[in-house]
Amino acid sequence: QVQLVESGGGVVQPGGSLRLSCAASGFTFSSYDMHWVRQAPGKGLEWVAFIRYDGSNKYYVDSVKGRFTISRDNSKSTLLLQMNSLRVEDTAVYYCANVYGYYFEYWGQGTLVTVSS
Amino acid sequence: QTVVTQEPSFSVSPGGTVTLTCGLSSGSVSTSHYPSWYQQTPGQAPRTLIYSTNTRSSGVPDRFSGSILGNKAALTITGAQADDESDYYCVLYMGSGIWVFGGGTKLTVL
């Protein structure tokens, strides 16, 4: 069955960096577009970034442009999110999800990123 | 800045029917926004309920249905059950590779 497993979360100081990974299995990862979505503690879901199946196009929510980079390694069925210049407001659970049509089909369980001094 | 609007909270009696909506701060929601709906309970990942306006995801009971009502997308739960008590989120595709989630609706069944 489809599995998406995020990792790489943790505690980081403001201005620091983290790299999140999402290991995919149970489907042909290289054929699917992918998303990152986040959820701050006690808040709603926020779409963060999208990448085409072949990495050819990437899109970001305005608040992370220039700081976050989404990428993928299709040979390893892995989605990545490089997060630089982290801010307190980036504190959230980060989920990866695959795209089917225009919706978020399967979701991982999330990884918590805490930005705090 | 596009804002997707949802009712912050809603209450329904067991066995009752409730319709949650998903609108835009400016303009109307259409099928071209490919509205989809997700259910989330505390501490859990979201679960896909409805996509492309009105298509139920695999395994979703038929008491959940999606539609366009007026200028909004809508999620209707018919015959609400206790375990439907959750947060519900809609998301709209805004074009150019951009998606926007609504703020979510906390549904209470009592």
pLDDT tens, position by position, A15-32: 999 999 999 999 999 999
d(CA B29, nearest CA chain A) in Å: 15
Q: Which chain B residues touch A44 with a CB distance below 8 Å?
A: 87, 89, 101-104
Positive or negative: CA dihedral A4, A5, A11, A13 = negative
B38-53 pLDDT per residue, tens: 999 999 999 999 999 9
Q: Which of A94, A93, A91, A83 is nearest to A114 (CA)?
A: A91
The predicted pLDDT at position B1 comes to 77
For chain B, give percent helix, strand, coil, nearest 5: 5, 55, 40
Per the DSSP assignment, residues forming a β-bridge with A29 are: none
B72-109 pLDDT per residue, tens: 999 999 999 999 999 999 999 999 999 999 999 999 99
The predicted pLDDT at position A101 comes to 86
The helix (run of H) or strand (run of E) holding residue A40 is none
pLDDT at B31 over 80: yes
Chain A residues near any Cβ of chain B (below 8 Å):
35, 37, 44-47, 50, 57-59, 61, 95, 100-110
Taking the C-alpha atoms of residue B87 and residue B92, their distance in angstroms, rounded to an integer, is: 17
Listed by number, the residues of chain B in 65-84 with a beta carbon closer than 8 Å to a beta carbon of chain A are none
B22 touches chain A (CB under 8 A): no
B interface test, pick of A22, A104, A111 with most B CB neighbours within 10 Å: A104
